[in-house]
């Protein structure tokens, strides 16, 4: 049933005329019809000969389009030919970099396989087309392909999946502003919902479509929606259906929509027929026939003759009943050719043949079943015993592990209490002495108190950091500056706390330039590794710290000549709360090395350990980035980044002095250097002069706006050109503000500050939207296309617990750090937290819809365990999943 008309919709009651096998076949016809939804410049306008003739004189790109039309022409009669022409179109499309032709061709291949009942192959090619459509943001074509996948699932007797993809198809058509097919798919989705026993859901679907079309000012498609709303209400509220049929008729007449005029007349006639108002039924059936006469003859005509004949028969007018029955017969004879009848006969023969083969196969299975029944009983008994034994073993192991865990937990708390008591004693003791004799004021006591208070603070910080890492909320703070000096300060502070008989030696190599590095993580890593070496090495030991840059990574080696770590303990040293043989005589919590390992991994670095009886060596490697163009040496943490593109040194120095109190300023001397720094650093705001060498400010602005990764950045232009024409030119290319030279420092600061405030407000608005009572799709949808693309990748893989930052960054074709900076800039979420937020928001909707128990929903949303899901859900929403469900039921 290809769609050759401009619009095509069959309402619930109309289809009952054409389908004697009931509602299921009705929906089959409707959804099958949807599989032809492609751009309407295809089949039905040309014959195969005329298409071949056009190909001879067409250019290569036009030949690609004509091959797609040829594939469409052959879909109904020869799917193999459709496959041939589709593959030819793909070759031409790829050669000419025309993704639209390639996407349409993949859709045609999927449809051809669908007609051959090869659903697996069909879905495979549909998905190839869908990936390409999503890559190029072709919403309407994506809707077509979603629809095709839905048809496949319907053929596979999976209405739930079919409904899911039809919803995606309707949404994509709406986002692609293809309201004709949005209306069509939505109405057919509603009929599918009616067929599965959800008429109220169908009404809701159609109501949403009505609102959308009214909002988008697309009244020409409302006739389709109102016809189906009448059909939906006829199943739940029959007396309301005529109102919607008449509304459909009103819009159909206004837009000269013959199909919906005919359908509305027939539906009203059907209503009167059911109410036994035969005069009304005949009146409206005649109107439907009159409209049908204006259209090419199709299967509607015999069906309408049949309905009006039935009405005449009901009032005893057998003359007219006979007349229309005769006209119905003649119409059917014209429609159904000898070839069609032959195909029906061939299908019957094939059906009988398959039926006999199935009977033979069933007989064989019965014989085989009798032979294997005894073996199955024996195997089943053995399996039950095996499972029972395995369950018993698991229960025993669980009890044993629980006991070990409780012992480890008690030991951990005991170690923490001992660790805290020592510095508290050394702080409290001098305080008591001072209270007894306030005039003593021994400086050594003050030093002792200060050192132990610092030790206590470090212990508390260590415990808090371990907690944050466990929750995934630890944030890396990057600093730009001299790494060698940073490490030297840490080493010197620890050397001051070490005993006099332990020598700490620091050797830095190749650390002269400025680098961007995770300062908070690096400090904690070094403090723990050097502190452990000082703590566990005997008197007279030497501790060597060697640092250098190798291949874009900071490599630090901490080496001591202590007793080493026993070989059997070396695999356990990074395990949380583990304390080895040589730790027995010292205080400690057992979380230091586990904290180090987790911090190193958070920076995407590595840590290795080598230990023997002659000493232990830890080697840490952390990625860093050299920052040659940074002018501000002492970068403050937690402040926004501004990139300044200015070739005049004096102007650049003055501008930096104005802004450096509020922003971390990165300076570049031309547009090309600025573009490279933007892609590396992804600043919060760009401030650029217009007149620059290599690439001027306008060219830089164009590059920023054309790149999906940088298009969101606010850009301020300033120039000596102060005329209105120059300002309009800059703003016309997408600049957010334009400042004339010479500029006022206050104006510059206010302009930059206001833009940054807007950025923050956008993040806050997005986070507020997530907390709104809207649906899942509405809550997480962003105004930014890039964020929505990220969300789409996460949703496609939402049930995969292995899908994490690495996989997402690969899908988005950017590095982890670039994706992190982009998401933080647009949403305020890190990449890890953003993935977890999408999973949890989806879980919330599933819980609201009672779409499974807590465990099932956890796995559907990609959580590998229910306990971790419950923990994450509680942190995100402030209540557990079970409490959330109870609150909704009140």
Mean pLDDT to the nearest integer, 789-802: 90
Phi then psi for 669, rounded to 5 degrees?
-95, -5
Q: Read off the tokens for 342.
A: 């032959």
Residue 148 and residue 122 in contact, taking contact as beta carbons nearer than 8 Å:
yes
Confidence of residue 40 (pLDDT cuts 50, 70, 90): very low
CA distance 780 to 767: 9
Q: Which of 308, 316, 32 is nearest to 155 (CA)?
A: 32
pLDDT on residue 107: 94
Q: How far is CA 576 from CA 264, 334, 409, 573, in A?
A: 72, 82, 11, 8
Residue 631 DSSP symbol = -
How do 503-508 and 542-550 pair as beta strands? parallel
Confidence of residue 565 (pLDDT cuts 50, 70, 90): confident
CA-derived radius of gyration, the chain: 37
Q: How far is CA 559 from CA 486, 487, 543, 609, in A?
A: 19, 15, 6, 10
Q: Read off the tokens for 62.
A: 């036009």
Residue 68 and residue 105 in contact, taking contact as beta carbons nearer than 8 Å:
yes
% of the chain with per-residue pLDDT over 70: 77
799's CB contacts (< 8 A; 6+ apart) are 859, 860, 861, 862
Q: Which of 843, 849, 851 is nearest to 881 (CA)?
A: 843
SS3 688: strand
Question: pLDDT of 193-223, one tens digit each?
Answer: 887 888 888 888 888 888 888 888 888 888 8
Q: Read off the tokens for 112.
A: 């051809």
pLDDT on residue 41: 37
pLDDT on residue 443: 63
SS3 505: strand
Question: Is pLDDT at 108 greater than 90 in this prediction?
Answer: yes
Question: pLDDT of 402-428, one tens digit each?
Answer: 666 566 555 555 555 555 656 666 676
pLDDT on residue 720: 64
Question: Is pLDDT at 243 greater than 90 in this prediction?
Answer: no
How do 715-719 and 737-740 pair as beta strands? parallel
CA distance 174 to 216: 10
pLDDT: which is higher, 519 or 85: 85
Count CB-CB contacts under 10 A for residue 26.
23
Helix axes 60-75, 99-115, angle to 10 degrees: 20
Residue 692 and residue 681 in contact, taking contact as beta carbons nearer than 8 Å:
no
What is the number of residues in the chain? 890
Q: How far is CA 322 from CA 277, 292, 301, 304, 312, in A?
A: 20, 20, 16, 14, 9
pLDDT: which is higher, 781 or 359: 781
CA distance 24 to 21: 7
CA distance 589 to 595: 11
Residue 139 and residue 173 in contact, taking contact as beta carbons nearer than 8 Å:
yes
pLDDT: which is higher, 477 or 788: 788
Lowest mean pLDDT, pick from 251-265, 464-478, 491-505, 666-680: 491-505
Q: Read off the tokens for 849.
A: 């819809």
pLDDT: which is higher, 588 or 777: 777
Q: What is the mean pLDDT of the chain?
A: 78
Q: Read off the tokens for 339.
A: 């070839």
Q: Note if the pTM is more than 0.85.
A: no
477's CB contacts (< 8 A; 6+ apart) are 518, 519, 520, 637, 638
Question: Is pLDDT at 643 greater than 70 in this prediction?
Answer: yes
- What helix, strand, coil percent values describe the chain, rounded to 5? 65, 10, 25
Confidence of residue 149 (pLDDT cuts 50, 70, 90): very high
Mean pLDDT to the nearest integer, 129-147: 92
Question: Is pLDDT at 31 greater than 70 in this prediction?
Answer: no
Confidence of residue 785 (pLDDT cuts 50, 70, 90): confident
Confidence of residue 338 (pLDDT cuts 50, 70, 90): very low
Phi then psi for 514, rounded to 5 degrees?
-85, 140
Question: pLDDT of 56-97, one tens digit each?
Answer: 888 988 898 999 988 888 887 788 888 999 999 999 999 999
472's CB contacts (< 8 A; 6+ apart) are 832, 833, 836
CA distance 30 to 25: 9
Confidence of residue 614 (pLDDT cuts 50, 70, 90): confident
Q: What is the dihedral of CA 622, 626, 631, 633, to 10 degrees?
A: 30
Residue 107 and residue 144 in contact, taking contact as beta carbons nearer than 8 Å:
yes
49's CB contacts (< 8 A; 6+ apart) are none
CA distance 343 to 351: 12
User: In 689-848, where does DSSP find H-type helix?
Assistant: 697-706, 724-732, 745-770, 776-780, 785-796, 805-812, 816-827, 831-848
SS3 557: strand
Residue 449 DSSP symbol = H
pLDDT: which is higher, 179 or 451: 179
Question: pLDDT of 364-375, one tens digit each?
Answer: 677 677 667 777
DSSP annotation string for 296-318 = ---THHHHHHHHHHHHHHHTT-H
CA distance 195 to 188: 11
Phi then psi for 288, rounded to 5 degrees?
-65, -40
Residue 480 DSSP symbol = E
Count CB-CB contacts under 10 A for residue 512.
11
pLDDT on residue 141: 93
Confidence of residue 1 (pLDDT cuts 50, 70, 90): very low
Bridge partners for 666 per DSSP: 630, 643
SS3 847: helix
Mean pLDDT to the nearest integer, 141-148: 92
pLDDT on residue 790: 92
Bridge partners for 738 per DSSP: 717
Question: Is pLDDT at 439 greater than 70 in this prediction?
Answer: no
Mean pLDDT to the nearest integer, 222-246: 82
Confidence of residue 745 (pLDDT cuts 50, 70, 90): confident
Question: Is pLDDT at 131 greater than 90 in this prediction?
Answer: yes
Q: Which of 244, 219, 220 is nearest to 13 (CA)?
A: 244
Write out 241-301 in H/E/C secondary structure.
HHHHHHHHHHHHHHCCCHHHHHHHHHHHHHHHHHCCCHHHHHHHHHHHHHHHCCCCCCCHH
Mean pLDDT to the nearest integer, 783-806: 89
Question: Is pLDDT at 687 greater than 90 in this prediction?
Answer: yes
Mean pLDDT to the nearest integer, 246-272: 88
Question: Is pLDDT at 24 greater than 60 in this prediction?
Answer: no
DSSP annotation string for 326-341 = HHHHHHHHHHS-HHHH
Question: Is pLDDT at 805 greater than 60 in this prediction?
Answer: yes
Residue with tokens 């739940």: 236
Residue 251 and residue 218 in contact, taking contact as beta carbons nearer than 8 Å:
no
Torsional class of 256: left (φ above 0), alpha (ψ -120 to 50), beta (otherwise): left
Confidence of residue 794 (pLDDT cuts 50, 70, 90): very high
CA distance 118 to 110: 9
% of the chain with per-residue pLDDT over 90: 14
Residue 817 and residue 825 in contact, taking contact as beta carbons nearer than 8 Å:
no
Q: Could you give all domains of the chain from N- to C-terminal order, each with its CATH number?
A: 475-626 (3.30.565.10), 641-748 (3.40.50.2300), 771-889 (1.10.10.60)
Question: Is pLDDT at 888 greater than 80 in this prediction?
Answer: no
Bridge partners for 615 per DSSP: 612
Helix axes 831-848, 816-827, angle to 10 degrees: 60
Question: Is pLDDT at 127 greater than 90 in this prediction?
Answer: yes
């Amino acid at each position: 049933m290809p769609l050759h008309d401009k619009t095509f919709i069959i309402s619930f009651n109309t289809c009952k005329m054409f389908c004697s096998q009931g509602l299921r076949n009705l929906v089959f016809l409707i959804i099958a019809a949807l599989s032809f939804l492609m751009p309407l410049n295809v089949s039905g306008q040309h014959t195969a000969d005329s298409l071949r003739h056009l190909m001879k004189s067409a250019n290569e790109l036009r030949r690609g389009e004509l091959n797609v039309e040829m594939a469409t022409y052959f879909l109904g009669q020869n799917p193999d030919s459709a496959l041939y022409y589709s593959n030819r179109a793909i070759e031409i499309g790829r050669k000419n970099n025309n993704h639209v032709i390639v996407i349409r061709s993949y859709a045609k291949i999927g449809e051809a396989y669908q007609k051959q009942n090869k659903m697996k192959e069909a879905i495979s090619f549909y998905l190839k087309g869908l990936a390409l459509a999503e890559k190029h943001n072709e919403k309407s074509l994506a809707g077509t392909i979603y629809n095709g996948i839905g048809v496949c699932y319907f053929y596979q007797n999976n209405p739930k999946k079919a409904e899911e993809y039809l919803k995606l198809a309707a949404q994509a058509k709406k986002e692609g502003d293809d309201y004709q097919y949005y209306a069509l798919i939505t109405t057919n989705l509603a009929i599918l919902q009616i067929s599965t026993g959800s008429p109220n859901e169908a009404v809701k679907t159609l109501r949403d479509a009505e609102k959308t079309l009214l909002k988008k000012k697309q009244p020409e498609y409302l006739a389709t929606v109102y016809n189906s709303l009448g059909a939906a209400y006829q199943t739940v509220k029959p007396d309301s259906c005529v109102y919607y049929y008449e509304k459909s008729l009103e819009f159909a007449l206004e837009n000269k929509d013959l199909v919906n005029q005919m359908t509305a007349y027939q539906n009203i006639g059907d209503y009167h027929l059911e109410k036994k108002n035969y005069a009304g039924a005949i009146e409206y059936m005649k109107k439907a026939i009159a409209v049908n006469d204006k259209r090419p003859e199709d299967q509607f005509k015999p069906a309408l003759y049949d309905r009006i004949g039935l009405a005449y028969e009901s009032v005893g007018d057998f003359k007219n009943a006979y007349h229309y029955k005769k006209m119905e017969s003649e119409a059917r004879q014209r429609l159904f050719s000898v070839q069609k009848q032959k195909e029906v006969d061939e299908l019957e023969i094939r059906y009988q043949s398959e039926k006999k083969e199935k009977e033979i196969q069933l007989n064989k299975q019965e014989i085989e079943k009798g032979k294997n029944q005894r073996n199955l009983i024996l195997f089943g008994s053995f399996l039950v015993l095996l499972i029972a034994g395995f369950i018993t073993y698991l229960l025993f192991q669980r009890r044993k592990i629980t006991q070990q865990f409780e012992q480890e937990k008690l030991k951990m708390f005991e170690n923490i209490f001992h660790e805290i008591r020592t510095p508290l004693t050394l702080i409290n003791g001098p305080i008591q002495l001072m209270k007894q004799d306030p005039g003593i004021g021994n400086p050594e006591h003050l030093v002792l108190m200060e050192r132990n208070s610092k030790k206590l603070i470090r212990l508390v910080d260590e415990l808090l950091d371990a907690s944050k890492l466990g929750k995934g909320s630890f944030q890396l703070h990057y600093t730009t500056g001299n790494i060698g000096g940073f490490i030297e300060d840490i080493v010197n502070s620890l050397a001051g706390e070490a005993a006099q008989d332990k020598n700490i030696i620091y050797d830095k190599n190749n650390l002269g330039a400025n680098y961007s590095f995770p300062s908070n993580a690096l400090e904690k890593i070094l403090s723990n590794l050097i502190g452990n070496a000082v703590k566990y090495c005997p008197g007279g030991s030497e501790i060597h710290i060697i640092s250098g840059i190798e291949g874009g990574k900071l490599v630090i080696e901490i080496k001591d000549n202590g007793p080493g770590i026993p070989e059997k303990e070396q695999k356990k040293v990074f395990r949380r709360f583990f304390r080895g043989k040589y730790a027995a005589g010292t205080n400690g919590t057992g979380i230091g090395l586990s904290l180090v390992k987790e911090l190193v991994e958070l920076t995407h670095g590595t840590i290795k350990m080598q230990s023997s009886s002659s000493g232990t060596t830890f080697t840490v490697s952390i990625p860093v980035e050299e920052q040659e163009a940074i002018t501000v040496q002492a970068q403050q943490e937690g402040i926004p980044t501004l990139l300044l593109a200015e070739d005049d040194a004096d102007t650049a120095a003055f501008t930096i002095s104005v802004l450096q109190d509020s922003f971390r300023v990165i300076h570049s001397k031309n547009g090309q250097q600025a573009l490279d720094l933007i892609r590396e650093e992804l600043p919060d705001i760009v401030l650029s002069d217009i007149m620059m060498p290599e690439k001027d400010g306008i060219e830089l602005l164009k590059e920023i706006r054309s790149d999906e990764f940088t298009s969101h950045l606010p850009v301020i232009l300033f120039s000596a050109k102060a005329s209105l024409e120059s300002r309009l030119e800059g703003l016309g290319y997408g600049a957010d503000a334009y400042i004339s030279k010479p500029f006022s420092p206050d104006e510059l600061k206010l302009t930059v500050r206001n833009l940054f405030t807007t950025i923050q407000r956008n993040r806050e608005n997005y986070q507020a939207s997530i907390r709104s009572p809207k649906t899942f799709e509405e809550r997480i949808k962003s105004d930014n296309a890039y964020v929505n693309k990220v969300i789409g990748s996460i949703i496609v893989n939402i049930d995969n617990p292995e899908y994490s930052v690495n996989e997402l960054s690969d899908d988005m074709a950017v590095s982890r750090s670039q994706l992190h900076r982009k998401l933080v800039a647009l949403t305020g979420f890190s990449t890890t937290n953003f993935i977890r937020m999408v999973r949890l928001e989806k879980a919330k909707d599933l819980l609201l819809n009672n779409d499974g128990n807590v465990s099932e929903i956890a796995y559907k949303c990609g959580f590998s365990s229910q306990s971790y899901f419950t923990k994450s859900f509680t942190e995100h929403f402030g209540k557990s999943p079970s409490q959330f469900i109870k609150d909704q039921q009140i």
